[in-house]
Structure 1
Amino acid sequence: MLVTDTLLLDFKRCQRRAYLNTHGSSEERRPERDFLLKLRQESQRHIQEVLEEQFPHYREPETPTHLGQERAQETKSLMAQGVDCIYRGYLYHSLPVNLNTDHNGNLPVLELLGHPHLLVKVAGESRWGPWQYRPVSIQLGRRPKPEYKILAAFYAQLLAVHQGSLPRWVEIILRRGNSYSVDLWEWLPRFHQTLADCVQTLIHQREPEVFISRQRCNLCHWYDHCYAIAQEQQHLSLVPGVTPSRYESLQMVGVLTIDSLARLQAAQVGELMGSTIARQLQQQALALVEKRPLLKTTVAAPLPQATVELYFDIEAEPERNLDYLLGVVVVNREEKTEKFYGFLAHNPEEEGIIWQEFIDLIQSYPDAPIYHFSEYERETIKRLGKLYGTPPKLREQMLDQCVDLHHYVTNHVICPVESYSLKSLASWLGFQWRDAQASGDQSVCWYDNWLTSGDRQFLELILRYNEDDCRATWILKDWLSQFLAA
């Protein structure tokens, strides 16, 4: 059985994903999304920048990467020679697994294969002489996540097998060159436990339970497969607010489906998670079962009404810290007109230009509420206003006009939805995006494609998606006003 660092990383993030990657049917995988390819490209650029700035004189094994054991043997030879820095070296080790024997009475063999980004020569003792190697992982994240540390401990353990001693320290280089040293005394035991759990799951083919987490699962190529199972099972993870810990609490009292949660008496789990949270989860399940919205007990202040209303949505590229499209639908209820304004930066340098165009439009309607769906729009007004020298008084005026519908919905209404995203809420209300697969992530990919190719069709796709988001916000606002009035 082969366990690679990639498989171990998948297992740490989602045990079910690692299981399906090993035992699942390829027919049930959906194609990878463009955004994943973009992330891999960004990761590779980050690695190259670190190499150029910190490790310009490196050696790379010549053996092709698909020949894992042979490349690992060459890597071992380079370490024995005392090469200063090895890029994309392989570390391999095999050992019998102390589990049930196979049908021939033999112990199964566990093969471990790691691909550290760098192996850097440092002073120390090893079986080769007065030097040893330390592994360096180069990750795109902004913080040293637990899965990064597990992999770092994996590399350290494999290195110890070859050089005869553990490396003195293990390094993770994060985005913007931030460096982090891993405490092996803490993370080696965690690695061993993760590896043991992974091997047990995969060898015995113990399929992990489905648990849908929108933020974590959305980009996974097994999402459609797992979601179909969750729907069939009426799985509690489809209820907004059911976290893994709350799920365990519900299981303890025999609540296993959405229907049983809807019938729950909050006092049954009040001691485990608090009566307020228990009631919220029960009401959310009830809304799903009965397919109708419920009003929360808190008094809902009426949404502001005006002759002219503005519906605002942003497309942004976090990697560049860039807001490349500021979209607004202007609705004049008295004149029964509507118009979409898409202020689009054709290159990153035009961000200041579209910001000023946006300000000019907003100033034309000083009394109009600016409806949006998330805190991001308010934060962007603050950031761009400060960045481009917008007078503080004008910034405050725009912020006073803002009305966050996401905050309003989640505080006052329980909707029969599995997620309180704009797309989920507006789709429940019958709104359809013209491009069904469009998303914020896809918009970022389209913008990258535009910058690379100059093909204007990508700009048209971005503008259309953003206009639909603005109109979905409009649909949601009108429904909220009518629901609360009724």
Structure 2
Amino acid sequence: MVQVLGDSIVVSATDLVGYLACDHLATLELGRAQGLWERPPRREDPELVLLQERGVEHELAYLERHRAAGRSIHEVQLRGPTTLEELRAAEAETLDAMRRGVEVVYQATFFDGRWRGHADFLLRTDRPSDLGAWSYDVADTKLARGVKAGALLQVCVYADRLTTLQGVPPERLVIVTGDGVEHPERLADYAAFYRTVKARFEARVFGDLPAPDTYPDPVDHCRVCAWFPTCMDRRRADDHLSLVAGMTRTYTERLIDDGVPTLADLGELPADRAVPRMNPRPLRRIRDQARLQLSGRRAGALLYELVPPDPEAPGHGLAALPEPSALDLFFDIEADPWALDDGLEYLLGVAWRDGNGTHEYRPIWGHDRRGEKAAFEAFIDLVIDRLERDPQMHVYHYAGYESGAIKRLMQRHATREDEVDRLLRGQVLVDLYQVVRQGIRASVESYSIKSIEKFYMPVRAGPITEAGFSVVEYERWLRDRDTAHLRDLAEYNRDDCVSTLLLRDWLEVRRRDAIIDQGWSMPRPTTTVAEPSESLTVCTRGGPAGGCSRRPVGTDRGGGGALAPGGAARLASPRREAGLVGVLPPAQSLDRGPRRRDCRTGRARVRRRGRTVGPVDRPPLPLRSSPGLEDPRR
């Protein structure tokens, strides 16, 4: 955080990353350093504590790898609050270790009078510098499974000062991700970006210009920010547009530019009022949402209303509800993203209603990779057994995590491909989040299941009430093996499954209201009885030689279902036992050339000598419409 040490303002690499994530954060930190206000009390968030603990463990594990390899290590001792003298002494200690040619410098400290930095590791390389026949690269450990812009910006700060100390820039910036993989990146690829962000930040902190008028717009960084309570209080006091469910930053800016700055203003906006640069359809949607939230606020009650069927999107909203079956299942997964090397889906929970109307629940546990595979197979077998008995049954879940996890587990364990293909082609999985967002409007700020279930079940009272806390509870079980943690997790998962069941029932009543009271046509979706595709059968059971070729997962261009027309065949392996992924006839295979592009950011990553470097800025890839894909916010 921004500090005032003596008469100097001192900033850190963390401050620069925070500025990149949230412009308002720099305003808050600078004001605190100048004594204009106090930082809010520390939030007691068990998930953040867990992340910190996991981060330290990851860092120490990487240190142990170097120690086990017999490399010489020097640890710079600098803990707690520091003074200018202590920072200078810590940098001198770091430089001394570098001059001695220590192979690994742990907790290397840099300080140039304005900027302080604490690199996790400096790694010696055989490249000459002012130090001698060697120089150092920077390495930093991060829990994330991929390299993020903030992590690269942070190590650029270290590399900047390191260049001054050793006379040459480091050749590599190494990010060690949570799976233990080292990701070397070239400093030259990010130097211009770093210089631009740093110059803007320094102008804010050290410049003579008046401080800009920033606002605490919600961003991803909010969930880990110490200032979140302060910013949330400000937004509520201002009745900010971000309180409208489904609001986006772009819509907020356009509405404010047109003189509509609050939720109340938007809720009272005349139906015939246009807003420049906003299409009528999304404007109508968020205006109606704000209107209902405003009505609920004034009435002091939870309100909902039915959304009329969209003639341009038949079969959506309440019309997407299939005919209920006595064999329907209600599904929810608990996962730990930090377990093992790539996360663990440790609990697959299923609920149903028995012949007497009683809610039944089955937890299917998997505490390691073998157990995860067995749990996945048990769940798929349960679904297929019921599907064989009643082809009209469905598996209900809320939001996209469960359907994505099914595909991911099928790929990871190379098992039950035919069965998953059948479920996807037959549209057996029903996402009730889509039904709610397209068929119901509610006076809530979020359409999470915890918000929607207030309409049909009492407030939860178990020991776990938030998804993030379930991760903490499972991590506690991993450490002490107290079965009480598993009981609490099963209770929480059962509540989620039963909530999904009760939501389906509540939506069925709303569907009946729409038909009887509103006179709306709500035909049931037709049930598709699907068998595995011929391409899947041929490729996975040993078809003609040359009849299949592998293809990168995620390049499917088809519509008409989750993975159609290729279904799970696109994810299946020509040799399941080998765990290979991706099949396509040779005529349809794609030559991707030497570049790979992130379709979310449009940033190309270039292959050089067998490794990926970059990213390089390129225009984003155009979004292509595809049959069967609709905006869930419509």
TM range (shorter): 0.7 to 0.9
1:342 and 1:463 in contact (8 A); partners too: yes
Rounded to whole Å, the distance in 2 between the matches of 1:6 and 1:203 is: 23
CA distance in 1, matches of 2:224, 2:497: 24
Do the aligned partners of 2:40 and 2:229 also contact (CA within 8 Å) in 1? no
| Counterpart residue number, 2:358 | 337
TM-superposed deviation, 1:337: 1.9
1:40 pairs, out of 52, 58, 70, with 52
> Any conservation in 2 of the 1:11–1:198 contact (CA below 8 Å)?
no
Partner of 2:531: none
| TM-score for both structures, normalised by structure 2 | 0.66
Instruction: Name the CA distance, whole Å, in 2 between partners of 1:234 and 1:125.
Output: 59
- Determine if the alignment matches structure 1 residue 139 to structure 2 residue 142: yes
- Identify which range, 432-441 or 202-211, moves more after superposition: 202-211
Q: Distance in 2 between matches of 1:212 and 1:270?
A: 22
Change (3 A) 1:425 1:217: farther
Structure 2 counterpart of 1:406: 433
1:119 aligns with 2:122: yes
**1:445 to 1:193, Cα distance in 2 relative to 1, 3 A:** same
The code of the aligned residue for 2:282 comes to I
Alpha-carbon distance in 2 for matches of 1:251, 1:128: 56
Tell me how far apart the structure 2 counterparts of residues 203 and 36 of structure 1 sit (CA, whole Å). Answer: 36
Whether 1:309 aligns to 2:322 is no
| Shift, 1:313, TM fit | 0.6
Distance 1:138 1:77 in 2: 23
Q: What aligned pairs does 1:174-323 form with structure 2 within 5 A after superposition?
A: 174-175=177-178, 176-182=181-187, 183-196=189-202, 199=205, 208-213=214-219, 216-264=221-269, 271-291=276-296, 292-294=303-305, 295-298=307-310, 299=314, 300=317, 301=319, 303-304=321-322, 305-319=324-338, 320=340, 321-323=343-345
Q: 1:374 aligns with which of 384, 389, 399?
A: 399
Q: 1:171 to 1:326 in 2, by over 3 A?
A: closer
Q: Is the 8 A contact 1:249 1:269 kept in 2?
A: no
* Cα 1:265–1:118 shift into 2, 3 Å: farther
Structure 1, unmatched stretches of 5+, are 95-110
| Distance change in 2, residues 1:365/1:61 (3 Å) | closer
Counterpart position of 2:43: 30
- Quote how far apart the aligned CAs of 1:465 are: 0.8
Q: 1:121 to 1:350 in 2, by over 3 A?
A: closer
CA distance, structure 1, for counterparts of residue 490 and residue 226 of structure 2: 27
Give the C-alpha shift of residue 206 in structure 1. Answer: 6.9
**Distance of aligned partners of 1:224 and 1:162 in 2 relative to their CA distance in 1, 3 Å threshold:** same
Shift of 1:91: 0.3
Q: Give, in angstroms, the shift of residue 443 of structure 1.
A: 1.2
Q: Does 1:358 align with 2:385?
A: no
Q: Give the one of 465, 468, 473 matched to 1:441.
A: 468
The separation in 2 between residues aligned to 1:374 and 1:472, in whole angstroms, is 13
Q: Which residue of 1 aligns with 2:576?
A: none
Cα shift at 1:267: 7.5
Tell me how far 1:377 sits from its aligned partner: 1.7
Structure 1 pair 349–404 and aligned structure 2 pair: CA distance change class (3 A): same
Is it true that 1:170 corresponds to 2:176 in the alignment? no
In the alignment, the residues of structure 2 paired with residue 162 and residue 381 of structure 1 have an alpha-carbon distance, to the nearest angstrom, of 51
Kindly provide the amino acid, as one letter, of the partner of residue 344 in structure 1.
W
Amino acid paired to 2:400: E
Residues 158-213 of structure 1 show CA distances to partners (whole Å, capped at 9, x for unaligned) of: 22343345444534343433332232442232242343255269998878422234
Cα distance, 1:185–1:461 mapped onto 2, change above 3 Å: same
Q: 1:436 to 1:447 in 2, by over 3 A?
A: closer
Give SS of 1:336's match: coil
| Contact 2:254/2:275 (8 A) holds in 1 | no
**Distance change (3 Å), C-alpha of 1:354 and 1:141:** closer
Matched residue, 1:107? none
Change (3 A) 1:224 1:217: same
Is it true that 1:474 corresponds to 2:501 in the alignment? yes
More helix by share: 1
8 Å Cα contact 1:122/1:133 also seen in 2: yes
Secondary structure (helix, strand or coil) at the match of 2:155 reads: helix
Structure 2 CA distance for partners of 1:187 and 1:263, relative to 1, 3 Å: same
**1:472 CA drift (Å):** 1.9
Residue 318 of structure 1 aligns to which amino acid in structure 2? Answer: P
Task: Tell me the C-alpha RMSD between the 2 structures.
Answer: 3.2
What is the one-letter code of the residue matched to 1:148? A
Give how far 1:392 is off. 1.1
- CA apart distance, 1:249: 1.6
Q: Structure 2 vs 1, CA of residues 220 and 203 (structure 1 numbering), >3 Å: closer, same or farther?
A: farther
CA 1:133–1:391 in 2, change beyond 3 Å: closer, same or farther? Answer: closer
Cα distance in 2 for partners of 1:123, 1:394 equals: 52
Mapped to 1, the partners of 2:455 and 2:230 lie a distance apart of 22
- For 1:266 and 1:180, the matched residues in 2 are separated by 52
C-alpha distance after superposition, 1:85-123 (max 9, x if no partner): 3121100111xxxxxxxxxxxxxxxx3110112223345
The one-letter code matched in structure 1 to 2:402 is: E
Alpha-carbon separation, structure 1, partners of 2:375 and 2:320: 32
Q: Secondary structure at the match of 1:60?
A: strand
The alignment partner of 1:114 has SS state of: strand
> What is the deviation of 1:481?
2.0
TM-fit CA distance, 1:130: 5.1
In structure 2, do the counterparts of structure 1 residues 202 and 138 end up closer, same or farther at CA, with 3 Å as the change threshold?
farther
1:155 is aligned, of 145, 153, 158, to 158
Give the CA deviation at 1:76.
1.8
Relative to structure 1, the CA distance from residue 14 to residue 269 in structure 2 (aligned partners, 3 Å threshold; closer, same or farther) is: farther
Deviation at 1:336, TM superposition (A): 2.1
Compared CA separation, residues 481 and 436, structure 1 to 2 (3 A): farther
Letter in 2 for 1:281: I
Is the contact between residue 127 and residue 163 of structure 1 (CA under 8 Å) also seen in structure 2? yes
Contact 1:310–1:370 under 8 Å retained in 2: yes
CA deviation vs aligned residue, 1:352-371 (integer Å, no higher than 9, x gap) = 33334434543553333221
1:12 aligns with one of 14, 17, 20: 20
Counterpart-to-counterpart distance in 2, 1:147 and 1:269: 38
Judge which range, 443-452 or 385-394, deviates more.
385-394
- After superposition, what is the alpha-carbon deviation per residue over 1:217-256, rounded to whole angstroms, capped at 9, x for unaligned? 3344443333232222111112233222332222211111
Structure 1, residues 436-472: CA drift from partner, whole Å, max 9, x if none? 7532222122112112101111111101110111122
- Per the alignment, in what secondary structure is the counterpart of residue 341 of structure 1? strand
Residue deviations 1:46-66, cap 9 Å, x none? 434544556842422343334
